[in-house]
Chains A and B, each alone.
Chain A
Amino acid sequence: MTHFLRGYRGLRITGAEPVRCLNRFAEQALAFWRVRQPDPLHLELRIYPKDYSKAEQAALRAMCTVEPLDEGGLPSLIRPLKKRRILLIGVLLSALLALFLQNFIWVVRIEGNKTIPEQTIRHALTEEGVGFGSWGPGISGPLLRMRMQLRLPTIDWMAANRSGGVLTVIVEERQNADTAPKENGPANIVASRAGIIRSVSTLGGTAAVEVGDAVLTGQLLISGITTWESGSQLTRACGEVYALTCRQITVKMPQQRLEKQETGRTEHALYLIFGRNRRKIFGNSSISHTGCDKIVNREVCTLPGGDFLPLILEQVEYREYEIREAPIDERTAREALERFAVRTVRSQMIAGRVLQTHFELTKEQGCYVLRGELSCEEMISKTVPISILGEDEANGEIHQRGEN
């Protein structure tokens, strides 16, 4: 290292006894190293450049001649730069800037997020003043964590590690624990809708109905009370009961609709977004942007490693349109309303399917009205807890809620 910093010069010593030259060097306290002897008449070694003249004189006294060889080390690297002052200044400035600029945040990496979008975290960090160009030493990890937790309550823990100009934010999201207490007290299963029983599968309790029975809303299907010879036992009824049900639905839609029709007039604009600044490069504002579709295409500049730079080129296209009223034909309306009706009924069922449909379309007050009856096979079981009153209040009677 010292040799590299001080620089070195290779020497070839030629003489009858080149070894004597080494003794002369040692006597004159000339440092030398890496001595090689290619043949008995020559020696090759390295010395510091400033000792060259001394070495030459010492070699002459030892009846040897000195021939310079290669040069190396830091001084020989810097020497060519002395003539190119601008380059030297540039190199020094670059080194200084590299040392100074690493105190700023240039890249923010986010790790560990699973459900929270990265963009949300970036936005929250920006709101807290942490982003491109932030002063790195001013970022306090614990303070930032607390503020981020206030902004994003689903964050359980967060760490901000700075390495040069790169800030790595590690996020640990809160586990969604099932906070709803599990009900495990005694309960009955009753009918949520009226219908004809198609299947009963009992996993706990006693079935109170059979296949083919007609039941009303709220009627007991599976009882949580099992009666034995010696008494009764309360359990939590568990099972699935499917029944044939009939659902009625009415949906409507207007006979006219508003639709966009492009006028064919378009405008283009180009913006450059640097950090929080947005500058228009070209484009005019002659078009009224209120009645326009806006199509935005963003090109984000990235580093070779994939890190995003806060430099975005945004192309915006404005397409002008007019809103016009257009009639809806009956067939289209019927199909749309039927699809909507079936989808709505399906979403209302716990589980099951639509077996048959019967729809009737009418026109009323400028609207299409679809009335339908849908035959369904659906699960109608609904768990209802059994309320037990105190012994003094009910004399040991067991009251069942929802039982007919």
Chain B
Amino acid sequence: MGNNHRWLRALAQKLELPSELLFGDPGIELSGRSALTVHRHRGIAAYEADCVRILSSLGMLRVRGSGLQILRMNRESIVLLGRIDELCFEGETG
């Protein structure tokens, strides 16, 4: 992420502007531990029953769990079902 981008983010934060609209940040909704919805994704990098990697503007979102399954997917969102144990961003993709 460049300096300009960082500066823009800081400005947007000061002005309380929604970063997901300005920068396309992903929206993540977790319903209990059984359903995860990721909006504004950039595709799937890996898909296994215990680990799903989802590309986003903030980096790769890793979802760990068991029995993970894609309920549906389109250009806007992905819905995952299964037991979700862990969510973390692995790195920045810019």
Q: Which residue of A lies closest to B77 (CB)?
A: A26
- Which of A29, A34, A40, A45 touches B74 (beta carbons < 8 Å)? A29
Contact A25 B73, beta carbon cutoff 8 Å: yes
What are the residues of chain B within 8 A of A23 when measuring CB–CB?
Answer: 43-44
Interface positions, chain A 292-345, Cβ under 8 Å from B, are none
What are the residues of chain A within 8 A of B47 when measuring CB–CB?
Answer: 18-19, 22, 35, 37, 43
Q: Which residue of A lies closest to B52 (CB)?
A: A19
Q: Tell me the complex Cα distance, A37–B43, Å.
A: 17
- The answer, yes or no, to whether B14 is at the interface (CB within 8 Å) is no
- The answer, yes or no, to whether B71 is at the interface (CB within 8 Å) is yes
Q: Tell me the complex Cα distance, A363–B46, Å.
A: 121
Q: Tell me the complex Cα distance, A32–B70, Å.
A: 9
Contact B69 A36, beta carbon cutoff 8 Å: yes
What are the residues of chain B within 8 A of A229 when measuring CB–CB?
Answer: none
Q: Tell me the complex Cα distance, A32–B74, Å.
A: 8
Interface positions, chain A 24-60, Cβ under 8 Å from B, are 25-27, 29, 31-37, 40, 43, 45
A22-B70, A35-B69, A36-B69 known; A29 vs B75 contact (CB < 8 Å) = yes
B28 to chain A, nearest CB (A): 17
Q: Tell me the complex Cα distance, A23–B69, Å.
A: 15
A22-B70, A35-B69 known; A40 vs B75 contact (CB < 8 Å) = no
What are the residues of chain A within 8 A of B69 when measuring CB–CB?
Answer: 34-36
What are the residues of chain A within 8 A of B49 when measuring CB–CB?
Answer: 37
Determine chain B's interface SS by DSSP, over half rule: strand
Contact B48 A22, beta carbon cutoff 8 Å: no
Q: Tell me the complex Cα distance, A34–B79, Å.
A: 10
- The answer, yes or no, to whether B8 is at the interface (CB within 8 Å) is no
> 1/0 per residue A8-25: CB within 8 Å of B?
000000000011001101
Contact B75 A27, beta carbon cutoff 8 Å: yes
What are the residues of chain A within 8 A of B73 when measuring CB–CB?
Answer: 22, 25-26, 32, 35
- The answer, yes or no, to whether B6 is at the interface (CB within 8 Å) is no
What are the residues of chain A within 8 A of B70 when measuring CB–CB?
Answer: 22, 33, 35, 45
What are the residues of chain B within 8 A of A31 when measuring CB–CB?
Answer: 72, 74
Q: Which residue of B lies closest to A35 (CB)?
A: B70
Contact A22 B44, beta carbon cutoff 8 Å: yes
Contact B44 A40, beta carbon cutoff 8 Å: no
B51 to chain A, nearest CB (A): 11
- The answer, yes or no, to whether B45 is at the interface (CB within 8 Å) is yes
Interface positions, chain B 17-75, Cβ under 8 Å from A, are 43-49, 69-75
Contact B75 A32, beta carbon cutoff 8 Å: no
What are the residues of chain A within 8 A of B44 when measuring CB–CB?
Answer: 19, 22-23
Q: Tell me the complex Cα distance, A18–B48, Å.
A: 11
B60 to chain A, nearest CB (A): 13
What are the residues of chain B within 8 A of A19 when measuring CB–CB?
Answer: 44-47
A50 to chain B, nearest CB (A): 16
Contact B74 A33, beta carbon cutoff 8 Å: no
- Which of A18, A26, A43 touches B75 (beta carbons < 8 Å)? A26
Contact B75 A37, beta carbon cutoff 8 Å: no
Q: Tell me the complex Cα distance, A19–B68, Å.
A: 14
Contact A32 B72, beta carbon cutoff 8 Å: yes
Q: Tell me the complex Cα distance, A32–B75, Å.
A: 11
Q: Tell me the complex Cα distance, A29–B49, Å.
A: 24
Q: Tell me the complex Cα distance, A45–B73, Å.
A: 11
Mind listing 7 A-B residue pairs with CB under 8 Å? A22-B44, A22-B70, A23-B44, A26-B73, A26-B74, A33-B70, A34-B69
Identify 14 new A-B residue pairs, CB closer than 8 A, beyond the known A22-B73, A23-B44, A35-B69.
A18-B47, A19-B46, A22-B70, A23-B43, A25-B73, A26-B43, A26-B73, A26-B74, A29-B74, A32-B73, A34-B69, A35-B73, A37-B47, A37-B48
**Interface residues, chain B, CB within 8 Å of chain A?**
43-49, 69-75, 78
For the complex of A and B, the 5 pairs showing the least CB-CB separation, nearest first, are A23-B43, A35-B70, A33-B72, A19-B47, A19-B44
